A and B are shown apart, each in its own frame.
Chain A
Amino acid sequence: MAITKQRIKVAELSDLPVKMGKTVVIGENELALFRLSDGSVKAIENRCPHKAGVLAEGMVSGDHVFCPMHDWKISLKDGLVQEPDVGCVKTFEVEVEGELVYVLVGEEEAERGVTNGVC
């Protein structure tokens, strides 16, 4: 069964500082939105699998973010926690059209929120 997804406008490009995160709340979900130096925009769940650190406040390098709590390094492309730590963070599809930034969220998720650790 195909999951229907909502396409939600979350920001304008000019609101997103390069190499820094932005907190986005969609229903029950909290996302961290990042604009990288290569111009692309990534969205992941705003929650480190380690101790629920706020990833939107982490330091960004290339396409990784360092969690501000205990320095876990997480890929913004696939949500994978980098060695030596393990785990993953849910990623969300992002679409940029001109100045507008959209995130795709599944109907179910939008209402109930994702479960941490499912990605």
Chain B
Amino acid sequence: MTKQKVVLIGNGMAGVRCIEEIIKTSPDQFDITIIGSEPHPNYNRILLSKVLQGDTSISDITLNELDWYAENNITLHKGETATKVDTKKQTVTTDKQQTIPYDHLIFATGSMPFMLPLPGADKDGVMGFRDIKDCDTLIHYAKTKKKAVVIGGGILGLEAARGLLNLDMDVTVVHNEPYLMNRQLDPEAGKLLKKKLEEQGMKIMVHTLTQELTGKKHVSGLKFVDGSFLEADLVIMAVGIKPQVQLARDSGLSVNNGIVVDDYMRASAPNVYALGECTEHRKTVYGLVAPLYDQGKVLAKTVCGVDTKPYEGSVLSTNLKVSGVSVFSTGTIVESDTSKSLMAFDDWKGTYKKVLSENGRVTGAVLFGDTSESTLLTSMINKKANIEDYLAMQQSDAPAVSVTASMSAEDIICGCNGVTKGTICSAIKEQGLASVEEVKACTSASRSCGGCANLVADLLQETLGDSFDASNQVKPLCSCTTMSRDEIVDAIREQELTTTRSVMNVLDWKTEEGCSKCRPALNYYINMAHPTNSQDEKESKYVNERLHANIQKDGTFSVVPRMYGGVTNADQLRKIADVADKYEVKLLKVTGGQRIDMFGLKKDDLPSVWEDLDMPSGYAYGKTLRTVKTCVGADFCRFGTQDSIGLGVELEKRFERVSTPHKVKMAVSACPRNCAESGIKDVGIVGVDGGWEIYVGGNGGTHLRAADLLVKVKSEQEVLQITGAYFQYYRETAEYLERTAPWVERLGLDHIRDVVTDPEQSVALIARLDVALAATVEPWKQVISDAQIRKELYEVAAPALTK
């Protein structure tokens, strides 16, 4: 028996989602063919604005890779357009002269941006924002054009505007209504949104009607109805969508605003169906993603001949995907004579909430600033819940009931990727997931706009109970961002971000140029991740590390030359003495790290001090290896069994200069008497009969911590190897400014031991460390030999006063 043929016109989110449902409902029952005009497999169109905003990449928003089509025996004609449908013969013809017979035909042709028919709308630089091609064009334009105007202050317009801001354009949003997102928000929330976006640098004109677009070939500006003018070299129209219905109309289907369908998604010809943005159901055309999933489920069951509940329309919910702005609306948001509304406005926190009810049932809500109740309210509206229940929840002193607890397995948690509560909970159980990040990686929930991350955390709590550690969850790097260290480092690696500026642009920093917390941290992470193709940014370093000297309270500096292993000689001491005389050093002090500190030097003397010293920097200011303290060891000591000085010098020469999350202090003692204090160092080595013990995570500072025994080894060679792997593992996994003591406690000693003693991992770690080490230079020498650095960083201008 031959299989029935299903043909889908439109390779977009709605159609492919429906095909997924068909395959799930009746595997292998159909021969499936998909015809799509775009040259790509199915991707998540609603996230294009996030691509434009730089939060994600095209490859990341692909929903179905080409492999998926192959694995499911789907014939995909991409880059091909259906041109004719014969509903009598049941065939579809394409622009490549193919005629494809069907038993079931699904229209999912989507929509096009509605372009206002203004004079001048046909000029270059005037466009919509709908597909990957538009996205690429905009990114390309942003390289040369500076002034962008977005016509339309709805969701798409604002998301596009934010993307253009991130591309460093000057952006104005022109909106014809009195307030932004007027179809989804009430005036209050609209005003708050305007204020918030203006804080982000967006210019916004409401109540403004465009009359004409000016320019010769390329657009040069907008003339408004009130006679005023605004310059622009890029204009985006985001005023609405126009369902793509021409083909359906030509095929004799009943078409109104969209292709007219019944409650089972059937169009007016036999075996022809439609869904998504090209479709009109009960006089409504939906332009959002959730209804299309609902429609897809019903249509799939209809095609498969399985009993299904009819589709009766969807309650619309809106989430604006602009970082740093939380806006949500659902259901009915406009008051009527019979509705009652509950409002809460907290100017202090910048939050606003309105919940509407009709005959005692929750019918709609607008949330601004705090959208944590969005899922609860959506599910209450869907269930036609009693407003009293909601009020009771608000007023109870009992801990808030988890929103997710009252949801059923079919309820969608992640609207962007259509992930249900059931999918997430089974993934948590079956795959042993324990963090939001893991759920994201495994199910895609919260991968897109991130709005449901707190719900995912609730589900983890619900599923794992007390074993779920909420404190182990995402902690933002600083107040300029909501992202955690790990998310940021992943992005730096994956998106090849090599400057702090690009990190801030791509990851939607809340501040233009960061702060004194994130800038040095980002600079460290970037150099750690890209040791050979990133620049160490001087302007993102703390003064001591920028100038390679320690600033003192009076603005002078102190200088500490390297003395490997705390060993010096008469020549070095003579040089230090001469320099101290010549530059009038105020204090010479022997440090705890077994070297000499010279205090009271002037900034503009530093380069010549270093030249006269002719010794390498001891990095007494650095987040790097500081000293390797040693005891005198086997050469002279009556007890010392090992050559501690020799090993100490070797360690210091091997690991010096490379950046680490925080300072690293080492020590080598030749015997368990531990004269070099190996027990309170980041790495402490202790000589024993026939080998060495390596201790880690010790600290002799504010939070005293005794080091733990990591391993015992036989040779110096092994000490260098284990220390190297440990050193690099700390570099790659610690948070900036996290010393090894808390780091060892956070990761666990056993875990670290497993990593650094694993032959494969340790070799790889050392190889990466070697790349970073090879890229370092001796900083004092560099200053001496580079006039530009001396001029920019060390010179003090002292212009004469004219009398």
Binding site for B on A (CB under 8 A): 6, 8-11, 15-20, 22-27, 33, 37, 51-52, 54, 57-62, 66, 68-69, 71, 73, 110-111
- A37 near B513 with CB under 8 A, answer yes
14 A-B residue contacts at CB 8 Å? A9-B799, A15-B792, A18-B539, A19-B513, A20-B793, A23-B796, A24-B797, A26-B798, A51-B553, A54-B551, A57-B546, A59-B519, A59-B520, A69-B553
Give bound CA distance, A25 to B602, whole Å: 13
Give bound CA distance, A68 to B542, whole Å: 7
Give bound CA distance, A51 to B511, whole Å: 27
- B519 near A24 with CB under 8 A, answer no
What is the total of A-B residue contacts with beta carbons within 8 Å?
Answer: 88
B654 at the interface (CB under 8 A from A): no
- A15 near B799 with CB under 8 A, answer no
Give bound CA distance, A69 to B797, whole Å: 22
B796 to chain A: which residues have CB within 8 Å?
22-25
Which residue of A17, A25, A62, A66 is within 8 Å of B512 (Cβ)? Answer: A62
Give bound CA distance, A6 to B795, whole Å: 23
Give bound CA distance, A33 to B797, whole Å: 10
B797 to chain A: which residues have CB within 8 Å?
10-11, 15, 22-25, 33
- Interface residues in B508-532 by Cβ distance below 8 A to A read 511-516, 519-520
Given A10-B799, A25-B797, A62-B511, A57-B547 contact (CB < 8 Å): yes
Give bound CA distance, A19 to B520, whole Å: 13
A22 to chain B: which residues have CB within 8 Å?
792, 795-797
The smallest C-beta distance from A67 to any residue of chain B, in angstroms, reads 9
Give bound CA distance, A66 to B517, whole Å: 10
B400 at the interface (CB under 8 A from A): no
- B516 near A66 with CB under 8 A, answer yes
A23 to chain B: which residues have CB within 8 Å?
603, 796-797
- B513 near A54 with CB under 8 A, answer no
- B539 near A60 with CB under 8 A, answer yes
Give bound CA distance, A22 to B547, whole Å: 12
Which of A18, A20, A61 is the most central at the interface, judged by chain B CB atoms within 10 Å of its CB?
A: A61
Counting chain B residues whose Cβ lies within 8 A of the other chain, the interface size class is 20 to 34
Given A23-B796, A37-B513, A59-B539 contact (CB < 8 Å): yes
Which residue of B519, B551, B802 is within 8 Å of A61 (Cβ)? Answer: B519
Given A54-B551, A69-B553, A20-B801 contact (CB < 8 Å): no
- B538 near A15 with CB under 8 A, answer no
A58 to chain B: which residues have CB within 8 Å?
516, 543
B166 at the interface (CB under 8 A from A): no
- A71 near B516 with CB under 8 A, answer yes
B547 to chain A: which residues have CB within 8 Å?
57
- A15 near B515 with CB under 8 A, answer no
- A6 near B802 with CB under 8 A, answer yes
- B801 near A27 with CB under 8 A, answer yes
B516 to chain A: which residues have CB within 8 Å?
58-59, 61, 66, 71, 73
The smallest C-beta distance from A40 to any residue of chain B, in angstroms, reads 14
- B551 near A66 with CB under 8 A, answer no
B513 to chain A: which residues have CB within 8 Å?
19, 37, 60-62
The smallest C-beta distance from A41 to any residue of chain B, in angstroms, reads 13
Give bound CA distance, A20 to B23, whole Å: 61
A7: nearest residue on chain B (CB-CB)?
B802
B541: nearest residue on chain A (CB-CB)?
A59
A27 to chain B: which residues have CB within 8 Å?
801
A111 to chain B: which residues have CB within 8 Å?
801
A17: nearest residue on chain B (CB-CB)?
B792
Q: 17 extra interchain contacts, Cβ-Cβ under 8 A, other than A33-B797, A71-B516?
A: A8-B801, A16-B792, A17-B538, A17-B539, A20-B793, A25-B798, A26-B801, A51-B553, A57-B543, A59-B516, A59-B520, A59-B539, A61-B513, A61-B516, A73-B516, A110-B801, A111-B801
**Chain B 477-520: CB-based contact to A (< 8 A → 1; otherwise 0):** 00000000000000000000000000000000001111110011
A59 to chain B: which residues have CB within 8 Å?
516, 519-520, 539-540, 542
B551 to chain A: which residues have CB within 8 Å?
54, 57, 68
Give bound CA distance, A10 to B519, whole Å: 29
